[in-house]
Amino acid sequence: MEVAGFEKRDYAEKLIADAVSSGRFPHAVLIEGGSPERRTDIARRISASLLCGGETVPCGSCPACKKALGGYHPDVLFHTPEVISKKPVYSVDQIREIRDDTYIIPMEAEIKITVLSESQYMNRAAQNAFLKVLEEPPEFAVFILLAQTKSVFLPTILSRVTVYTLSGDAEREEDGVTAQEAESAAQDIARALLSDSAFELVKAAGVFDKNAPLLEAALPEMAGIFMNALKVRYSGGEGGELEKKLSSALSRRALLALIESVDTLTGEIKMNANLNLTVTRLCTLFKSAAD
């Protein structure tokens, strides 16, 4: 099946288009990043693509496409948070209603698509209520969660959805991470390893709290620093001041253990592990590697 209408230069959109064309689109996805408008637009395009009967989807002209793109397909349910005390929130009651809705068989199509816009407004209780339907969804159900960031979700939710991270527009740039920030965070971690006090490491790792993109960007930088320190130690290679200090303070074995820890943590981040736990694990792993 051909898929059109996705911005293939954006890696996330390319992955989404690939998933649609494979005919095995995941039953639950979370689309994070980008602007709210862009997330909504992508959810509409996915819905139309999944419902369209054309050879190239979404064809844009069949009844299913028109309804899905126009926002009035009876089997595409768009939900937005309620406003309680002037704040947007998905209440547990609202989630329960949505849950009950998703079990009702589709009216026209073979699938029923439930979209939760701004799903970052689900608190813990609401997420737990939603988890029930994610765990035992009806066969025809497709869930599309749209959120500013995945970092607010329980690991139990994240383990059941495929996450697509949009990039490359204004909102993303605002909370984006520069190479300098990543480098300096990685250097602070490396410097903390030179200290006798475990607290220095915890302090340096504090910068990653609620900032998964920074951690994700800083991990390869850390690996680079440890690798260079290893080279200095191993072959007397040229290294910066920090790398030279590390190479004399830490054994070859410790440096290898640190590089391995970076691999472990990178894997966890990619698996959408709970950020707080990953930051704590970073401190534990690094401390035991350097000791």
Query: Is residue 68 part of the contact set for Zn ion (CB under 5 A)?
Result: no
Instruction: Collect all residues with Cβ–Cβ distance below 8 Å to 154 and sequence separation of at least 6.
Output: 124, 127, 128, 131, 274
Q: Return the closest-CA partner of residue 145 out of 132, 129, 134, 156.
A: 134
Helix (H, G, I), strand (E, B) or coil at 212: helix
Scanning 53-61, 110-118, 188-196, 251-259 for contacts with Zn ion by CB under 5 A, the matching segment is 53-61
Closest separation in Å from C-beta 177 to Zn ion: 39
CB of 60 to Zn ion, least distance (A): 6
Q: How many residues interact with Zn ion (rule CB under 5 A)?
A: 5
* Closest to Zn ion by CB, 69 or 285: 69
Instruction: Using the rule CB under 5 A, give the single segment among 1-9, 48-56, 67-75, 125-133 that binds Zn ion.
Output: 48-56
- DSSP reduced 3-state for 110: coil
CB nearer to Zn ion: pick between 69 and 144? 69
Question: How far apart are CB 260 and Zn ion at their closest, in Å?
Answer: 50
Name beta bridge partners: 82: 89
**21 to each of 4, 18, 49, 55, how far by Cα in Å?**
10, 5, 9, 10
Nearest CB to Zn ion, comparing residues 5 and 54: 54
Hey, is 240 helix, strand or coil?
A: coil
Distance CA 276, CA 259 (A): 21
Residue 62 binds to Zn ion (criterion: CB under 5 A) = yes
Q: Quick check: 59 binds Zn ion (CB under 5 A)?
A: yes
Binding of Zn ion by 30 (CB under 5 A): no
The tokens for 102 are 């998703």
User: Measured from the CB atom, is 4 or 242 closer to Zn ion?
Assistant: 4
Closer CB to Zn ion, 67 or 79, in the complex? 67
Residue 221 in tokens: 């930088």
227 makes contact with Zn ion (CB under 5 A): no
Pick the closer one to Zn ion by CB: 52 or 222. 52
Q: What is the DSSP letter of 194?
A: T
Closest listed residue to residue 215, CA positions, set 160, 161, 286: 286
Quick one: DSSP state of residue 106? P
Binding to Zn ion by residue 76, rule CB under 5 A? no
Contact region for Zn ion (CB under 5 A) — 58-66, 77-85, 211-219, 225-233?
A: 58-66
Tell me which residues touch Zn ion (CB under 5 A): 52, 54, 59, 62, 65
